[in-house]
Amino acid sequence: MRKLLLLILDGWGINTNLKNNAIAEANPSFWNHLVQEYPFSALHCREESVGVPKGCLSNSEVGHTAIGAGRVVPQSAFAIDEAIQSKAFFDNRVFVKIQEHHTASGGALHLVGLLSNGGIHGHIDHVIALLEWAQQKKMDNVFLHLFLDGRDMPPMSALTLLKKLEPFLNDTVQIASVCGRAIAMDRSETWERTVSAYNTLLAVQPLTPLLISHAGEERFGASAMVEMSTMNVTTYIEQNYAEGVGDEFIQPARFCDAGIQDNDAVIFFNFRADRMRQMVRLFLKKAPSAIQQHIMVPKNLFLSSLTSYNDDFDAHVMPFFPKEIPKNNMGEWLSTKGLTQFRITETEKYAHVTFFFNGGQEVTFPGEERLLIPSLGLANYASHPEMSLPEVTTSLCRVLTQERFDFVVCNIANGDMVGHSGDLTAGIRAVQHVDTALSKIVSKAEACGYTVVITADHGNIEYMEHEGTPHTAHTFNDVPFLVIGQNVSLEKNGYLHQVAPTLLELMGIEKPAEMTSESLIMTK
């Protein structure tokens, strides 16, 4: 058995076009050395090869699931799209439960989630399908609470999507509130953001400016000081655009008094879980006590979500499409072999090297240990492209020196999180920070007897501008796969779902039968 370190460079794709390419423009000397000197393969990580619908971008959740599973794992969006197309969606058991609750309680229906066609966290087609169901059933008092994207889509694109919803809007179907996703979909436990959006959903207090940590470093809109009753949704968003505030950072605002109240039903329509958990925890009274004690939670709510957000939530939030766990993923298989493993990253990507790498399970396998390095908690990391990488690097090198673990996984978040800023200058600096970290980590790993594998989950930072506009979304580009410390020959091209079988072969461990993908190592 040979020890192995897996480094996942989040949002680090391959782009032969050097323009607007932060990796190429940074000209990272150590990274370039690795690519030139060590076995290298380019991996496809898009669409059907990672289980997402054709035309939809992949994401960190999907990428880490594929890396750890060693097979194609069909994602929830696939199942939802197929159900809508076949009309089976409209017969889902959750709709029956919602109708029963509505009949018994007489409450309203609230649809809550991301307005986007990026296909990363949610899709407008799913919102439209929900509205079609409500229309078929003649549901009255239906309210939309829309989180605006601007991250997996162009920064100012919400108005185009809102037009697609207009045919469904009337006196009984209304947009009740909007909020930028940086506030409503925070996952770094910056609770003042989540609480601000939550209170807007409930319409329980007058809007106030968001309390922002690291003052002056986050570009949030200031328009929340305006009395919302005098504006419609379009005017409010246009005013933010005029102030230079994109969709992602628009302050929460409500446009009617219909907040979520006692006896109502709620459908959270994001299909990706990680950026909805904090919000749902407030509804379930599972937030930290210092936060929850100041929060009002309506009584007798029926809560549902398109997919399962957390194993602990399912008893209280009914999923339309329960998740399927890939059996004997990388972490589980190593554990059954009695081997030790360690997962490390900063807060922004903690769920990815744990929950998603383990196949979407809230489980720590026997022999698995973890270390979470706190993130800075910024909505936009352009001002701090180093993020918490120095601390991650120091801690990882300390763990490697101990030589206690057979398998170590580290996510380096900068490529994705800074890539989402669309700021090329910041992206270049982020790449330089990653290059410095890689030099230290690889050197330490080799000295401690580890084989080092470097790959990525999807592209981002290698394409930062599109036709003069900041490009904040992921890309369809291939990602790198390098092996340092073993003289092997790799297939020139492969797929992200081949990573786990390759890692096992490098470690000298047979793969489980459930891992249907093949190793990237060429047999001689």
Point out the residues that are catalytic: 60
The amino acid occupying position 123 is H
Q: Count CB-CB contacts under 10 A for residue 166.
A: 9
Distance between CA atoms of residues 346 and 341, nearest Å? 17
Per-residue burial over 210-221, b if 16 or more Cβ lie within 10 Å, else e, is: bebeeeeebbbb
Structure tokens that stand for 219 in this block: 């570009």
Indicate the pairing of strand 4-9 with strand 451-455. parallel
In this structure, are residues 120 and 55 in contact, taking their beta carbons and an 8 Å threshold? no
- Cβ atoms < 10 Å from Cβ of 302: 21
Q: What is the DSSP string of 201-246?
A: HHT-S-------SSTTSS---SGGGS-GGG--HHHHHHHHHHTT--
Give the three-state DSSP class for 97.
Answer: helix
Two structure tokens written together for 128: 């439209």
Question: What's the rounded Cα separation, in Å, for the pair 151 and 120?
Answer: 10
Per-residue burial over 435-462, b if 16 or more Cβ lie within 10 Å, else e, is bbbbbebbebbeebebbbbbbbbbbbbb
Task: Give the DSSP per-residue string, 306-326.
Answer: EE---TTTTTTEEEEE-----
Closest by CA position to 285, among listed 301, 297, 267: 297
Q: SS3 for 331-365, per residue?
A: HHHHHHCCCCEEEEEEHHHHHHHHHHCCCCCCCCC
